[in-house]
Amino acid sequence: MVPVLGRLLILLALLAASAGALVGFATGARPSEAGWAWARRLAYAFAALMALANLTMEYALLTHDFSVGYVAHVGSRSVPTWVSLVSLWSSLEGSILFWGLVMGAYIAIATWQNRFKYPEYMPYAVGVWLACGAFFSFLLAGPAQPFATVPGPPLDGPGPNPLLQNHHLMIIHPPFLYAGYVGMTIPFGLACAALLVGRLGHDFIRPLRNFLLLPWIFLTVAIVLGGWWAYEVLGWGGYWAWDPVENASFLPWLTATAALHSALLVERKGVLKGWTATLVIATFLLTILGTFMTRSGVFNSVHSFTQSAIGPTILVFLAAALLFAMALLTLRVDTLVPEGRLQTGPSRDAAFLVQNLLFVLFTFTVLLGTVFPLVVEAVRGVQMSVGRPYFDKLSVPIGVALLFVMGVGPALPWGRATKEQLRRALLPPLLTASALALLGFAAGVRNAWTALALFFGGFTAQVTLSEILLPVRQRMGSHGESVVQAFRQAQRRGRRRFGAYVVHAGAVLVIVAIAVSSTMGASKEIQLRAGETTSLGAYTVTFVDADRVVEPHRDSVRARMDVRKNGRSLGTLYPRMSRYERQRELIGTPAVRTSLTEDLYLSIQNIDLASRTVGLLVLVNPMVGWIWIATAVMALGGLIALVPAWRRETVVVRLPVPITSASAGGLR
Amino acid sequence: MNRITFTLLGLFALPQALMAEGARAPDLPASNIAAPRGPPLSGAELDARTQHVGALLRCPVCQGLSVADSPATMARNMKAEVREKLAKGYDQEQILAHFERSYGEFVRLEPPVRGVNWLVWLGPLAALLAGGTLVAFALRRPPRDATPPALEERVIAASTPGLPSRDTLPGDPRLAAAVRRARSLAYGWPHGVPPKHPAAAP
Amino acid sequence: MPVTSTAGAAVARATRFNPRVLAAGAAFVVPLLILLALNLRRDPHAVRSPLIGRPAPAFSLAPVGGGAQVSLETLRGRPAVINFWATWCVPCLEEHAALRAAARHQRDVQFLGIVYEDEEARTQAFLQNRSSSYPSLMDPEGRTAIAYGVFGVPETFFIDAGGRIVEKYVGPLDARAIAALVARARDGAP
Q: Does A605 contact B71 at a Cβ distance shorter than 8 Å?
A: yes
Non-local CB neighbours of A166 within 8 Å, separated by 6+ positions: A233, A554, A589
Whether residue B24 has pLDDT greater than 50: no
Tell me, letter by letter, the H, E, C secondary structure of A521-573: CEEEEEEEECCCEEEECCEEEEEEEEEEEECCCEEEEEEEEEEEECCEEEEEE
Which chain C residues touch B74 with a CB distance below 8 Å?
A: 117, 142, 145-146, 150
- CA of A538: how far to CAs of A534, A542, A573, C160, in Å? 11, 13, 16, 59
CB count, 10 Å around CB of A269?
Answer: 17
Reported as a single tens digit per residue, the pLDDT across A391-430 is 999 999 999 999 999 999 998 888 777 888 888 888 889 9
Residue A51 lies in a domain: yes
pTM of the model: 0.87
- CA of A387: how far to CAs of A44, A55, B108, C36, in Å? 44, 40, 8, 19
Reported as a single tens digit per residue, the pLDDT across A541-562 is 999 988 898 887 778 899 999 9
Same domain, yes or no: A608 and A568: yes
Q: How confident is the model at residue A667 (pLDDT cuts 50, 70, 90)?
A: very low
Q: How far apart are CA A605 and CA B70, in angstroms?
A: 8
Same domain, yes or no: A145 and A209: no
Whether residue B41 has pLDDT greater than 60: yes
Region of A626 (left: φ > 0; alpha: ψ -120 to 50; beta: rest) is: alpha
Cβ contacts from B onto C, under 8 A? 49
Residue A189 lies in a domain: yes
Whether residue C9 has pLDDT greater than 60: no
Residue A552 lies in a domain: yes
Which of A2-11, A32-41, B170-179, C114-123 shows the lowest mean pLDDT across its residues?
B170-179
Whether residue A296 has pLDDT greater than 90: no
Q: Does C9 contact A339 at a Cβ distance shorter than 8 Å?
A: no
Same domain, yes or no: A500 and A599: no
Of A333, A366, A396, the domain-final residue: A333
Which chain B residues touch A345 with a CB distance below 8 Å?
A: 2, 139
Q: Average pLDDT, stretch A462-468?
A: 92
For chain C, list the domains and their CATH numbers: 2-39 (no CATH), 60-187 (3.40.30.10)
Of A311, A333, A355, the domain-final residue: A333
pLDDT at position C128: 86
Residue A395 lies in a domain: no
Of A298, A333, A368, the domain-final residue: A333
Reported as a single tens digit per residue, the pLDDT across A272-284 is 999 999 999 999 9
Q: How far apart are CA A321 and CA C128, in angstroms?
A: 62
Same domain, yes or no: A171 and A280: yes
Whether residue B1 has pLDDT greater than 50: no
Residue A406 lies in a domain: no
3-state secondary structure (DSSP) of residue A261:
helix
What radius of gyration do chain A's Cα atoms show?
27
Tell me, letter by letter, the H, E, C secondary structure of A292-310: HHHHCCCCCCCCCCCCCCH
CA end-to-end span of chain B: 24
Select the residue of B61, B81, B99 nearest C151 (Cβ to Cβ): B61
B77/chain C closest Cα distance in angstroms = 6
Cβ atoms of A128 and A194 within 8 Å: the answer is: no
Reported as a single tens digit per residue, the pLDDT across A498-520 is 999 999 999 999 999 999 999 98
Whether residue C86 has pLDDT greater than 70: yes
Select the residue of B70, B107, B141 nearest A344 (Cβ to Cβ): B141
Q: How far apart are CA A18 and CA A43, in angstroms?
A: 10
Mean pLDDT of chain C: 84
List B residues 65-84 in contact with A (Cβ-Cβ < 8 A): 65-66, 69-73, 76
Same domain, yes or no: A187 and A303: yes
Q: Which helix (H) or strand (E) holds C122?
A: helix C120-130
The phi, psi pair for A271, rounded to 5°, reads -115, 170
The phi, psi pair for B113, rounded to 5°, reads -85, 95
Q: How far apart are CA B15 and CA A394, in angstroms?
A: 9
pLDDT at position A183: 96
Same domain, yes or no: A486 and A540: no
Whether residue A81 has pLDDT greater than 70: yes
* Amino acid occupying residue A442: A
pLDDT at position B159: 59
CA proximity to B91, closest of B31, B49, B29, B55: B49
What radius of gyration do chain C's Cα atoms show?
28
Higher pLDDT, A230 or B28: A230
Q: How confident is the model at residue B31 (pLDDT cuts 50, 70, 90)?
A: very low
- CA of C109: how far to CAs of C80, C112, C134, C163, C184, in Å? 5, 10, 11, 12, 12
Whether residue B201 has pLDDT greater than 50: no
Q: How far apart are CA C190 and CA C169, in angstroms?
A: 13
pLDDT at position A655: 64
Q: How confident is the model at residue B168 (pLDDT cuts 50, 70, 90)?
A: confident
Non-local CB neighbours of A242 within 8 Å, separated by 6+ positions: A366, A369, A387, A388, A390, A391, A392
Which chain B residues touch C49 with a CB distance below 8 Å?
A: 104
Which of A219-223, A357-361, A393-397, C27-31 shows the lowest mean pLDDT across its residues?
C27-31
Cβ atoms of C174 and C77 within 8 Å: the answer is: no
Residue A379 lies in a domain: no
Q: Average pLDDT, stretch B54-70?
A: 89
pLDDT at position B58: 93
Q: Does C21 contact A335 at a Cβ distance shorter than 8 Å?
A: no
Residue A376 lies in a domain: no
For chain B, list the domains and their CATH numbers: 27-113 (1.10.8.640), 164-200 (no CATH)
- What was the ipTM of the complex prediction? 0.86
Cβ atoms of A53 and A97 within 8 Å: the answer is: yes
CA end-to-end span of chain A: 55
Whether residue A581 has pLDDT greater than 80: no
The dihedral built from the CA positions of residue A440, A443, A447 and A450, taken in this order, carries a sign that is negative
Residue A99 lies in a domain: yes
Q: Does B142 contact A342 at a Cβ distance shorter than 8 Å?
A: no
Higher pLDDT, A409 or B160: A409
Closest chain C CA to residue A315: C37
pLDDT at position A362: 97
Q: How far apart are CA B49 and CA B40, in angstroms?
A: 11
* Amino acid occupying residue C43: D
Q: Which helix (H) or strand (E) holds A577?
A: strand A576-580
Q: How far apart are CA A461 and CA A454, in angstroms?
A: 10
Domain span at residue A633 reads 428-520+627-668
Same domain, yes or no: A135 and A171: no
Of the CA atoms within 13 Å of residue A340, those in its CB half-sphere come to 19
Q: How far apart are CA A180 and CA A592, in angstroms?
A: 28
Select the residue of B63, B73, B102 nearest C148 (Cβ to Cβ): B102
Cβ atoms of B148 and B194 within 8 Å: the answer is: no
Eight-class DSSP state of B108: B
Number of separate domains in chain A: 4
Which chain C residues touch A321 with a CB distance below 8 Å?
A: none
Whether residue A529 has pLDDT greater than 70: yes
Q: Average pLDDT, stretch B111-119?
A: 88
Closest chain A CA to residue B68: A236
Q: Average pLDDT, stretch C137-146?
A: 90
Same domain, yes or no: A608 and A638: no
Whether residue C12 has pLDDT greater than 60: no
The dihedral built from the CA positions of residue A6, A11, A14 and A16, taken in this order, carries a sign that is negative
pLDDT at position C189: 53
Q: How far apart are CA C139 and CA B59, in angstroms?
A: 19
∠ CA B7-B186-A356, rounded to 5°? 35
Reported as a single tens digit per residue, the pLDDT across A421-460 is 888 888 889 988 999 999 999 988 888 999 999 999 999 9
The phi, psi pair for B95, rounded to 5°, reads -65, -45
Reported as a single tens digit per residue, the pLDDT across A615-646 is 898 999 999 999 999 999 999 999 999 886 44
Q: Average pLDDT, stretch B30-43?
A: 71
Same domain, yes or no: A438 and A575: no
pLDDT at position B69: 87
Same domain, yes or no: A247 and A325: yes
Which chain A residues touch C38 with a CB distance below 8 Å?
A: 374, 378
pLDDT at position A217: 97
Q: Average pLDDT, stretch B47-56?
A: 91
Q: How far apart are CA A97 and CA A84, in angstroms?
A: 15
Q: Which of A232-236, A579-583, C7-11 has the highest mean pLDDT?
A: A232-236
Tell me, letter by letter, the H, E, C secondary structure of A127-169: HHHHHHHHHHHHHHHCCCCCCCECCCCCCCCCCCCHHHHCCCH
Region of C3 (left: φ > 0; alpha: ψ -120 to 50; beta: rest) is: beta
Same domain, yes or no: A580 and A654: no
| Strand blocks (E) in A114-264 | none
Q: Is B98 on the interface with A (CB under 8 A)?
A: no
Q: How far apart are CA A137 and CA A116, in angstroms?
A: 28
Same domain, yes or no: A148 and A234: no
List B residues 64-93 in contact with C (Cβ-Cβ < 8 A): 73-74, 77-78, 80-81
Select the residue of B73, B102, B105 nearest C51 (Cβ to Cβ): B102
Whether residue A303 has pLDDT greater than 80: no
Reported as a single tens digit per residue, the pLDDT across A167-182 is 777 778 889 999 999 9
pLDDT at position A220: 97
Cβ atoms of C115 and C63 within 8 Å: the answer is: no
Q: Is B24 exposed, middle or buried, given 0-12, 13-18 or 19+ CB atoms closer than 10 A?
A: exposed
Own/partner long-range contacts of A201-207 (Cβ < 8 Å, ≥24 apart) = A201/A270, A202/A266, A202/A267, A202/A268, A202/A270, A203/A118, A204/A118, A204/A121, A205/A263, A205/A266, A205/A267, A205/A276, A206/A267, A206/A645, A207/A110, A207/A113, A207/A114, A207/A117, A207/A118
How far is CA A382 from its chain centroid? 33
Q: Average pLDDT, stretch B100-119?
A: 91
Q: Which of B178-192, C29-43, C165-179 has the highest mean pLDDT?
A: C165-179
List B residues 101-130 in contact with C (Cβ-Cβ < 8 A): 101-106
CB count, 10 Å around CB of C11?
Answer: 10
Q: How far apart are CA B128 and CA B8, in angstroms?
A: 10
The pairing of beta strand A554-565 with beta strand A568-573: antiparallel
Q: How confident is the model at residue A202 (pLDDT cuts 50, 70, 90)?
A: confident
